[in-house]
Amino acid sequence: MVGDVKFPLKWSIAWGPKAIPLWNNILSRPNITMDGQGSQKTARLERLKLEIVEYVTTNPGCSAADIVDYLSNTRRMRNHGLTSRKVGFFIPRYLKNCVMFTLDRSTGKRVYNVA
């Protein structure tokens, strides 16, 4: 019969008819939390900070869209996860001592310079 499973299960999940796990038993397991402080995440963060500071140093007066374009297309950092909106939050959080911004009078956008 399809619903009767005779082999030992890896996570001891209760199985319903047609060998489908019962969702209430899956959802009742304790959640595994990940704090996200591994060495790979730290290395990616440091590289991203270094790339942004390097770009702003060579191109003062750049916008957030210029930084994202440089990271995505020139440096081929496809998985950096930053959009031009997120750069506005990333720079004051991680680079407040290195990079400063002023508001452009005509457009109201942030223009980034080295501090």
Task: Tell me the pLDDT tens digit for each residue of 44-54.
Answer: 888 889 989 99
> Model pTM?
0.63
Sole residue written with tokens 């959009």: 83
| Section 13-20 average pLDDT | 54
The sign one gets for the Cα dihedral 42, 88, 66, 84 is: positive
Position 82 confidence tier, pLDDT thresholds 50, 70, 90: confident
Q: Which domains does the chain have, with CATH numbers?
A: 1-33 (no CATH), 39-114 (1.10.10)
